[in-house]
Chains A and B, each alone.
Chain A
């Protein structure tokens, strides 16, 4: 993806998003935008609404109001299974590797929704650990390998916006490093990525901008190059 004019367009625009699980009101007016080719993180403490924002984008939420536009198309009110077909890939926090499916079946499960997805050999180049494990039961992989598989299966589909929910959670530093390499490679390839992270040291190595969330809405936006200048503020937000 060339830099320049393209990177100025907002690919995902969220405005005054409210979200509910049953009676409980979890998102209180989230507004943010993600430009094409950017890596943007959502930072914040547990319960700040990061995962809920992702679930709201995917339509996995009881009731939503406000606006979520992806490449100009309004997602609120759209049938849930149509949202990913616009080119949005979701990697959930719990990874969601299926135990009744082999690694191969897990990898090829999400249907291809657009041209231009990565091929299986390209995916194996990115995640060599998955190579040769095809017939293994999906959940027999290690935690790190399951995380790689969860990302890998989205890359085949041609989705150009990827929602990554805490890809480093519970993983050893050496694995986190591998995931970081892969995410940077995806950015190079032109994927637009929204990343939820608790580990902002990891986030700082790959992101262009950071949105800080508190109590169900965005309270601040910090460009990555100003991260060091804002360290004190960030420490207060995250309570670290």
Chain B
């Protein structure tokens, strides 16, 4: 097997792996956005910035406190989740009764503030973050070389995505969440503290972004702009998958990552726009998205 459609297999599989990695981040980030949109009806434009904050918290923990990668996975997610809780309690909460657009504008402003602050403090050049010892090196699979860390990112994000899907679709807590998404007033009238649930949902959604940021730190560099680079594609993923659809976010995230990888092999010039072309087509054919429910 020397060539496949005139493409050396190393190049093909290499790009597919890259696509799968990108897809893992798309999936993790669009999952958080879907959870937040479903429950709060807020298009969280701050998601990319909070992903960046997650990566920075990991880097700061390492350089200032000597806390390594594994500790950062937990701590940085918690920190970002807490930041989310504070944002929801102090600002977002005030906007639920007005048009969605206000939530979008508020979170967009917050994203700019976060990015500006980190840019001011740390400049735009990326900070390197080392791969943890346990995940250094790689494996020769015969047809391609698989760096261990990249394999880990794919597996870890898949596990987190599936775990989140399970928690929402198959558990009691998830049933509360789904019910409150449909009719918060009635769920409250059953004795459940919906406002607290809403805060925790936002916290959890952005904690997923923080986690993605830590996972990304050793692959991409830790830079204030890393969030805005990825978030536009992630929003396209959410639209294609269907606003608020959990499964849609996961499947489209991974699928579009792979598709982007393939495009890089066969027609590199189109690789940056392929996602948006698909978004346009999906919006024309199925406006609610591939997995979305028509209202």
Q: Which residues of A contact B (CB under 8 A)?
A: 58-60, 79-85, 90, 92, 96, 98-101, 105, 108-111, 113, 157
User: What are 12 pairs between A and B in contact, CB < 8 Å?
Assistant: A81-B192, A81-B193, A81-B194, A83-B191, A85-B191, A90-B189, A92-B186, A96-B183, A101-B175, A110-B191, A111-B192, A157-B190
Decide if the interface of chain B is mainly helix, strand, loop or mixed.
Answer: helix
B98 CB, min distance to chain A CBs, angstroms: 14
Most chain-B Cβ atoms within 10 A of its Cβ — which of A81, A101, A113? A81
Question: Given A82-B191, A157-B191, list of 20 further CB < 8 A pairs?
Answer: A59-B189, A60-B185, A60-B189, A79-B193, A80-B188, A84-B190, A84-B191, A90-B190, A92-B189, A98-B182, A101-B179, A105-B175, A109-B175, A109-B176, A109-B187, A110-B191, A111-B191, A111-B192, A113-B191, A157-B190
A151 CB, min distance to chain B CBs, angstroms: 13
C-beta contact mask, B255-271 vs A, less than 8 Å → 1, else 0?
00000000000000000
**Minimum-distance CB pairs A-B, first 9:** A84-B191, A110-B190, A100-B178, A96-B186, A81-B193, A85-B191, A105-B175, A98-B179, A90-B189
B77 part of interface (Cβ distance < 8 Å): no
Q: How far is the CA of A111 from the CA of B188 in the complex (A)?
A: 11
Chain B 171-222 interface residues, beta-carbon cutoff 8 Å to A: 172, 175-176, 178-179, 181-183, 185-194
Most chain-B Cβ atoms within 10 A of its Cβ — which of A58, A108, A157? A58
Q: How far is the CA of A155 from the CA of B92 in the complex (A)?
A: 36
Closest to A86 in B: B191
B295 CB, min distance to chain A CBs, angstroms: 12
Q: How far is the CA of A79 from the CA of B188 in the complex (A)?
A: 10
Chain B interface, number of residues (Cβ within 8 angstroms): 18
Residues of A near B187 (CB, < 8 A) are 109
B293 CB, min distance to chain A CBs, angstroms: 9
In the complex, are the beta carbons of A58 and B189 less than 8 A apart?
A: yes
Residues of B near A113 (CB, < 8 A) are 191
Residues of A near B186 (CB, < 8 A) are 90, 92, 96
In the complex, are the beta carbons of A100 and B181 less than 8 A apart?
A: yes
Closest to B191 in A: A84
In the complex, are the beta carbons of A98 and B178 less than 8 A apart?
A: yes
Residues of A near B190 (CB, < 8 A) are 84, 90, 109-111, 157
A227 CB, min distance to chain B CBs, angstroms: 31
Residues of B near A99 (CB, < 8 A) are 182
B88 CB, min distance to chain A CBs, angstroms: 18
A8 CB, min distance to chain B CBs, angstroms: 29
Closest to B178 in A: A100
Closest to B187 in A: A109
Q: How far is the CA of A113 from the CA of B192 in the complex (A)?
A: 11
Q: How far is the CA of A79 from the CA of B192 in the complex (A)?
A: 11
